Amino acid sequence: MLSERAFDRSQSEIERLLPVFANAGVATRYFCMPIEWYLEPHGWVERTQLYITQAVDLLVGVARQCLDQACCGVEDIDGIVTVSTTGIATPTLDALVMERLGMRRNVCRLPLFGLGCAGGVIGLSRAAEMAAAQPGRRILMLVVELCSLTFRHGDNSKSNIVAAALFGDGAAALLLNGAGDGPVLGASGEHTWPASLDVMGWRVEEDGLGVLFSRDIPTLVRRELRPVAEDFLAYRQLRLKDLTGFICHPGGAKVIDALEDAFGLASGSMRIARDVLRDFGNMSAVTVLFVLARMLPGIRAGRYLMSALGPGFTAGFQLLQVA
């Protein structure tokens, strides 16, 4: 079993925490490297080189697929937003993707780093603001997270064990053009809780990024998310009962349970979020866009609230109107 080979059985709590792998709600995941890579130590230089190579390859692939589906040419893109928190690149990923795709030289670039799991929602909001600032502009939003490259062989902490059971790699692309019959993006907002910097994030270690992941996140969601969401809606003269549904980042099985409780939904209501978690794991910022993609084909007309939680500790909200 990979989990038993990846952690020092005598120095870690892997024996006690093995049920985490069975209870994570994850059946399949995708890693950018072969399994054997994760059984050896790796340093910053190797991780960074792999991150840049793999991330750009994935982003170019999803960008081309997105533009083909939209019948849009690379030369038609006016702006590009890239979201990622699982590696560093300077020049940033958007510049590297522009070069590979041969985009126009005057494309507006906005790289976003450090938003973690909230990046899918907050990045979408920033892309929507760019599109709204100059109507008619086409904004390409690209998200990639290579969570597996942050796995550190020799890190026997509880957080690393839980992360190893939960996180996977993925990428997504979305085109905003202010036309067509897709969902209309409405108001957006954020809330950052005080004294919450240690809930989620990275620790910079000698050989890579060490995961910071509080076990209290489901409790925080149950206790704190609903009033914050209600405040966000109230500022727009809306209430929870005015919503047709929710498009939420499935941080984990317990987090989905907490989301259903927080929003007063019946247990099992967030079926598609659970399905995405089961099929891909938690891909950080990418995951909520996978949930959106799966919901869209059969979605009912109405108003939806997208939400995700990330380092800060921050909640990102984005309203969508489906005709």
> Catalytic site residues?
117
Q: How many CB atoms lie within 10 A of CB 248?
A: 26
Question: What is the full DSSP assignment across 126-139?
Answer: HHHHHHHHSTT--E
Strand partners, 203: 210
Closest alpha carbon to 168 in 149, 191, 152, 187: 149
> Tokens 């990923």, residue?
93
The helix (H) or strand (E) run that includes residue 309 is strand 302-310
Residue type, 83: V
91: preceding bond cis by omega (within 30 degrees): yes
Long-range (24+ apart) CB contacts under 8 A made by 15-22 are: 17/158, 17/161, 17/162, 20/161, 20/162, 20/165, 21/165
| Phi, psi dihedral angles at 32 (to 5 degrees) | -80, -10
Burial of residue 277 (number of CB atoms within 10 Å: 0-12, 13-18, 19+): buried
